[in-house]
Amino acid sequence: MTQNAIKLFHHPLSGHAHRVELMLSLLGLPSKLVFVDLATGAHKQPEFLAMNPFGQVPVIDDNGTVLADSNAILVYLALKYGDAGWLPSDATAAAGVQRWLSVAAGPLAAGPARARLISVFGAPYNAEEVIANAHALLQVIEVELQGRQFLVGEQPSIADIACYSYIAHAPEGNVSLADYPAIRAWLARIEALPRFVPMPRTAAGLQA
């Protein structure tokens, strides 16, 4: 039976949307990208708010199953279409994945993601504070990755997918990765996965 394409409502420069695009590709799932013009407020229009009342990308429509929130979508895709490695059933490993999903929604969003919002989109945050938050997080992750291949053990999980995009693009927010060799090696391992798809880079921050 042929799998119908999953619609992904996205913006190409959204790291949250890229998480889902990357997961769809890694799983080999047919998908259709639907551009949401954030600059014109398309995400705040009634048609979009009917899918996600929070007015945020990404949203997926999996043949009538409509879901919002990037991390929730990763959980859905892993459980419905992935093998057990993407979201382990072992209690300890599952808790480890959830820990990193919380990091992605908390410190990662308040650090590297927000720093990039300043330089790429002109968001009115305090750059010095946000960049300091980013480096504090990266220092922890650098230690966590010592002696392991991925964030939770020796194979990729949705924890890695949730954290990849904004860390890979941290230099766009003036957050250098030069002092984090373990993180750079981890990024390279993700980028070497079959069917990896990158997020477009912008000429901002240290990438300018």
Q: What is the CATH number of the domain that holds 41?
A: 3.40.30.10
Q: Are residues 39 and 96 in the same domain?
A: no
Tell whether 40 and 124 lie within a shared domain. Answer: no
Cis check for the bond before 58: say yes or no (omega within 30 of 0). Answer: yes
What mean pLDDT, rounded, does the chain reach? 94
Is the pLDDT at 101 greater than 70, yes or no? Answer: yes
Task: State the CATH number of the domain containing residue 107.
Answer: 1.20.1050.10
* 208 inside domain: no
> Are residue 42 and residue 100 in the same domain, yes or no?
no
Residue 126 lies in a domain: yes
Stretch 122-127: mean pLDDT = 91
DSSP letter string, 117-148: HHHHH---S-HHHHHHHHHHHHHHHHHHTTT-
Q: Are 66 and 59 in contact (CB under 8 A)?
A: yes
Please report whether residue 18 resides in a domain: yes
* Residues 184 and 97 placed together within one structural domain of the fold: yes
pLDDT tens-digit series, residues 40-54: 887 888 888 999 999
Q: According to the model, what pLDDT value does residue 71 have?
A: 97
Return the DSSP state at 193: S
Q: Which of 107, 176, 109, 93 is nearest to 140 (CA)?
A: 107
Q: 115: domain range?
A: 91-198
Categorize the per-residue pLDDT at 3 as very low, low, confident or very high, splitting at 50, 70 and 90. confident
User: 34, 51, 81: which is the final residue of a domain?
Assistant: 81
Asked which of 81, 106, 135 is the last residue of a domain, the reply is: 81
On whether residue 207 sits in a domain, the answer given is no
One domain for residues 64 and 133: no
203 assigned to some structural domain: no
Domain annotation covers residue 1: no
Per the structure, the count of domains in the chain is 2
For residue 70, what are the CA distances in angstroms to 58, 90, 119, 152? 6, 23, 22, 19
pTM passes above 0.75: yes
Q: Is the pLDDT reported for residue 2 higher than 80?
A: no
Order of strands, edge to edge, in the sheet holding 6-10? 31-35, 6-10, 59-62, 65-68
Give the end of a domain, one of 35, 56, 81: 81
Segment 10-34, tens digit of pLDDT: 999 999 999 999 999 999 999 999 9
Residue 1: band (very low, low, confident or very high) from pLDDT cuts 50, 70, 90: very low
- Token representation of residue 39: 């600059």
Phi, psi of 148 (to 5 degrees): -140, 155
Predicted confidence band at 141 (pLDDT cuts at 50, 70, 90)? very high
pLDDT-derived band at 37 (thresholds 50, 70, 90) equals confident
The answer to whether residue 184 sits within a structural domain is yes
Q: Could you tell me if residue 180 is inside a domain?
A: yes
- Tell me how far apart the alpha carbons of residues 98 and 115 are, in angstroms, rounded to a whole number: 24
